[in-house]
Structure 1
Amino acid sequence: MKTQDSNLAGTGLNPKMKWASILFIAGLLILTLYSNTILTLSLPKVVAEEGKSEPLVQQYSGSGVLQPISKVELSNKSGWTIKDVMVKAGDHVEKGQLLVTYESKEVSRRILDEEATLSRQKLMMEGMQERYIEAVQSGDDLKIRAAKRDLEIAQLDNSVQERKIKELKDDFGLLSQVTAPFEGVISHLSAVKGLVSGTAGGDVTISNASLGYQLVLQMPSTVSDKLELGSKQDMAVKMNGNRKSYEGVISGIEDAEQMKKVTLTVQNAELQGGEQANVEISISSAAGEGMLLPAKAVHGEGTNKYMFVIEEQKSPLGNTYHAHKVFIEVGEANEDAVIVLKGAYPGQMIITDSSEALTDGSRVRKQ
């Protein structure tokens, strides 16, 4: 007991002061740790992840209606009445097949009138022939010449009348019907029996089945710039409530406002035009081109792009984390991700989200 007292006396501190010192130092440590904890909780909360050495995938999905590459509207140019309709929309027709017939009472009456005129001329010509015979029998040269001249004039009039009737009948035959100019599909039919031709536009619209159908889509340049003319692309076509895949060919790429107009052509006897078609395209960037980052991890405008990475600083009182600003060079991008060509490498913890705006070197709290 004396020994212990002598030791305490040697330290110059009595037991109460020693314990007070210990409690004071412990309190300081607790307060320091507590204050650090409170400070940490007040720091911006961030989410971080590593970049990926993966290609960027550009995806596109678009739909539209298949339209015939070549189509012709047919109707009676003289505005005759539709007599009969031999086809319906969607029918496959052969070249020369009869589609619609027409009638015109006015032209029919005109032909009958001209035929009656020809009959009257022929009857008159018979009288002239009789007078010519009488003149020949009489031996009167003057009468013979006159009768012969009248007969020749009558023959000329008959020839003219016959040609006139033939032309009327030929025109009537051409205008009284329309036939298919080529093998195709009736894509639209406006003809109605009893109505005048052309009442609702062309009476019959026929598409050329041999040339196929086309689908025109508006695509972003990030996708269209990677397509090649003549390359093949699958398209899903809806027919009779079912979807079927057909092989299309990229036949045109044209500039349009903020987008590009891409035309795909498809040929198949099953198609008729007017079907709903859908195209889905997925194109990957070259492998090993750069680091793939979420688009929200990249900041800045134009060529002044940067990101924040987490740097850890060690301390006796605990490690701290800081946001470090790194300038980068970017390549391709889509709505969700971007390829970083320079400035990003494997192992970096890249900040993808933050509860507050960050500055270079600011302390952060990892979620």
Structure 2
Amino acid sequence: MALEAQRNEESRLRVRQRKIRWLAGGFIGLLLVCTLLGNTLQNLMLPKVRVAAASPGELEHSYEGSALLKYGATQAFMNPAGWKVSQVHVKEGDVVHKGDLLIEYDDSEATQEVADMKANLEKLKLLLADGEEAYKQAAQVGDEAALQSARGAIQNAKIDIATQGRHLATLHTKIENNRQLVAPFDGTIIEISAVEGQASVGGPDIRLSDSSKGFRLELPIPNDVAELVRIGDELDVLLPDQDNSIVQGQVSSLEANVGSDLTGSGTDKTDLAPTPSQLLTISLQGDHLRSGIKARVVMTKTGSAGTLLVPKAAIHEDDAGTFVYTVEPREGPLGNAYYVARANVEVAGSNGYNSAVTGGVFEGQQVIVESTDPILEGSRVRF
């Protein structure tokens, strides 16, 4: 009986110990499950980020734009004498050559003035002759007062004759220079305001293009593209209205586009936000070119090498400078955790999608492009 009681006691003890182990195991398992669930819930509450790897490459800038061709240079010619127009020898659109007669002016009033001045000059010469004769007579009789008077008359007559001669020469030059308007260079008549039988009303009588200057194309281009363009660069210009023929142009100027920004121009643009721009002028030559025809330019420029490319959205800026957020892994009891780190960079250029950066990041490093919630340096995040 004692042995059987001992065996029963040992059996109960083993059952009790087994239950304790089961309970302990269940409790530990429950703790693990709770820990894992808690960690999972905590992770789900962390900001979720999207990352991209910094990769080597050259930043590409693209632009496409169109405008109407303009004359390379024009000059307005006035009617400086204000005479009536006698005859207009050209019409708008005419091609003229240097020395061609454009307009004749009515110089009849000036010609009459010349005749009057010549008559006055002859009178002055007669007065001079009279003075010289009076001087001779006074000298013969020894009349000193008469001599003095004759001498003054002679001197005044000579002065008047010289003055009248200069005025006459000036008027002759005026008539010669203003009776006709001739083309000073080869070109095309752009505009005619002169009307036969009427005097000019203050504006130019004729506006003439200079054929030697060819044509020009003016386009506003974004600053990031303008930074890569140089005076003298050659560009292909497409002419849609002339069977899509291509003519080569040359960059002649690049200047600030004052008071005007691009709005959604160029293939670099991802939205319609105003973009600071510069005015690009391209010079073109060609007998088949005409003012007012449509011209189109497509160009792609590549930035400097030795940079890493990251999405433009990854770039941030504050008082301390320009930077990107990177992801820094740290080992934890339940695996790696990921934290936000700041990396200061220098931006070498940007287009609508990417930025070229130097310093602060290395090839392949993960940079944060966007997050579901605001993040700061040291914040824990999830992918």
TM-score by length of 1: 0.66
Residue equivalent to 2:212: 210
2:287 matched to 1:269? Answer: yes
CA distance in 1, matches of 2:79, 2:346: 66
Per-residue Cα deviation, 1:168-193 (whole angstroms, up to 9, x for no partner): 8x977875543323221112222345
Letter in 1 for 2:348: G
SS in 1 for 2:55: coil
Per-residue Cα deviation, 1:330-364 (whole angstroms, up to 9, x for no partner): 43334532222223223322111123332333211
1:329–1:73 CA distance, 2 compared to 1 (3 A): closer
1:243–1:178 CA distance, 2 compared to 1 (3 A): farther
Q: How does 1:148-227 map to 2 (within 5 A)?
A: 175=178, 177-197=180-200, 199=201, 201-215=203-217, 222-227=224-229
Per-residue Cα deviation, 1:6-46 (whole angstroms, up to 9, x for no partner): 6773263365x665545444433332222222211211121
1:79 Cα deviation from its structure 2 partner:
2.8
Question: 1:209–1:269: 8 Å Cα contact kept in structure 2?
Answer: no
Residue equivalent to 1:87: 90
Letter in 2 for 1:250: V
Per-residue Cα deviation, 1:141-184 (whole angstroms, up to 9, x for no partner): xxxxxxxxxxxxxxxxxxxxxxx9xx98x977875543323221
Letter in 2 for 1:95: K
Residue equivalent to 1:43: 46
Q: How does 1:22-61 map to 2 (within 5 A)?
A: 22-61=25-64
2:6 matched to 1:10? Answer: no
CA distance in 2, matches of 1:249, 1:201: 33
SS in 1 for 2:56: coil
1:94 Cα deviation from its structure 2 partner:
2.7
Q: How well do the aligned residues superpose, as a CA RMSD in angstroms?
A: 4.2
CA distance in 2, matches of 1:239, 1:99: 31
CA distance in 2, matches of 1:341, 1:4: 80
1:360–1:5 CA distance, 2 compared to 1 (3 A): farther
Letter in 2 for 1:189: I
Residue equivalent to 1:309: 326
CA distance in 2, matches of 1:57, 1:22: 62
Per-residue Cα deviation, 1:298-354 (whole angstroms, up to 9, x for no partner): 223477333222233455545432222233344333453222222322332211112
CA distance in 2, matches of 1:181, 1:220: 39
Letter in 2 for 1:232: E
2:341 matched to 1:324? Answer: yes
Residue equivalent to 2:314: 297
CA distance in 1, matches of 2:329, 2:35: 20
Question: 2:48–2:382: 8 Å Cα contact kept in structure 1?
Answer: yes
Per-residue Cα deviation, 1:32-66 (whole angstroms, up to 9, x for no partner): 22222221121112110112221112334565554
Letter in 1 for 2:371: S
Question: 1:86–1:100: 8 Å Cα contact kept in structure 2?
Answer: yes
**Farther-moved stretch of structure 1 (290-299 vs 354-363):** 354-363
**Farther-moved stretch of structure 1 (318-327 vs 49-58):** 318-327
CA distance in 2, matches of 1:238, 1:5: 105
**Tell me, which stretches of 5 or more residues in structure 1 are unaligned?**
118-163
Identity over aligned pairs, percent: 29
1:96–1:24 CA distance, 2 compared to 1 (3 A): same
1:23–1:227 CA distance, 2 compared to 1 (3 A): same
CA distance in 2, matches of 1:239, 1:338: 37
SS in 2 for 1:96: coil
1:205 Cα deviation from its structure 2 partner:
0.9
Question: 1:85–1:101: 8 Å Cα contact kept in structure 2?
Answer: yes
SS in 1 for 2:199: coil
2:367 matched to 1:350? Answer: yes
TM-score by length of 2: 0.64
1:310–1:192 CA distance, 2 compared to 1 (3 A): same
Question: 1:303–1:329: 8 Å Cα contact kept in structure 2?
Answer: no
Residue equivalent to 1:232: 234
Residue equivalent to 2:75: 72
Question: 2:55–2:364: 8 Å Cα contact kept in structure 1?
Answer: no
SS in 1 for 2:57: coil
1:101 Cα deviation from its structure 2 partner:
4.3
CA distance in 1, matches of 2:179, 2:240: 38
SS in 2 for 1:269: coil
Letter in 1 for 2:36: L
